[in-house]
Amino acid sequence: MLAGACAPPATDAPANQAAAPPPAPTVSGRQPPAGGSLAGIANVEVHYYDVRGNSLFEIRRALNRVRPRDPNDGLGVDALSSWYIQWRWPGDAAGGCDLSRAEIRFSGRIRMPRLVETAQTPEAVRLRWRAYVAALERHEATHIRQAWAHRNDVLAAIRASSCANATRDARAAIAIMGRRDVVYDRTTRHGLTEGAHFP
């Protein structure tokens, strides 16, 4: 995501995705817990979409109906992470730009399923759901952590560039980061090999 002086106007597309998926019903946002899998990463929100059911089959069917689609490979996924990098730099006295004073801002968003439990939800189903969601959270957090760990690659690309090419070079650095996400999902089958499967 781009913003700032010497850069094009801001866009709403995630840096690691071609386009954001349509929102699922009943979405709410919150900052992740300070001690959770995203500890130490600023500006990350978790949004939820509700699913209902009292059996493994009912819940799986509900997930399949409303889950998002990964824009990188078109597959339906139960959770989806997006990260964004904005940048800006000041102008200089000669009317150009001062890339040595460039700044970046990182933010992220994770869309997760949330089971609406009822008195009829069996305890075994609740326990299976909680184990699944924990694995799913770890998988999505890894996407965000990878991007966070490499965010300064974008800043380095900008500062090593020229006023004419800084935006292009920042986008090239972001494209490399995005490819890491694709490889990670391909390797783990969107978290399946890490235990993120239901049932």
> Across residues 141-152, what is the average pLDDT?
98
Share of the chain above pLDDT 90, in %: 79
Mean pLDDT of 46-53: 97
Tell me 179's DSSP state. H
| Mean local confidence (pLDDT), 137-159 | 98
Answer with the residue of higher pLDDT: 64 or 25.
64
Provide the pLDDT confidence category of residue 93 given band limits of 50, 70 and 90.
confident
Query: For residue 29, with 0-12 CB atoms within 10 Å meaning exposed, 13-18 middle and 19 or more buried, which class applies?
Result: exposed
Predicted confidence band at 154 (pLDDT cuts at 50, 70, 90)?
A: very high
CA distance 190 to 182: 9
User: What's the whole-number mean pLDDT along residues 140-155?
Assistant: 98
pLDDT tens for 166-192 read 999 999 999 999 999 999 999 999 999
pLDDT of amino acid 29: 56
Band (pLDDT 50/70/90 cuts) for residue 34 is low
89-93, 122-126, 127-131, 191-195: range with lowest mean pLDDT: 89-93
Cross-sheet strand order for the sheet of 44-51: 28-30, 44-51, 103-115, 80-88
**Closest Cα partner for 11 from 157, 146, 167?**
167
| Confidence category of residue 25, pLDDT binned at 50, 70, 90 | very low
pLDDT in tens, 67-81: 999 999 999 999 999
Residue 10 backbone zone (phi > 0: left; psi -120 to 50: alpha; other: beta): beta
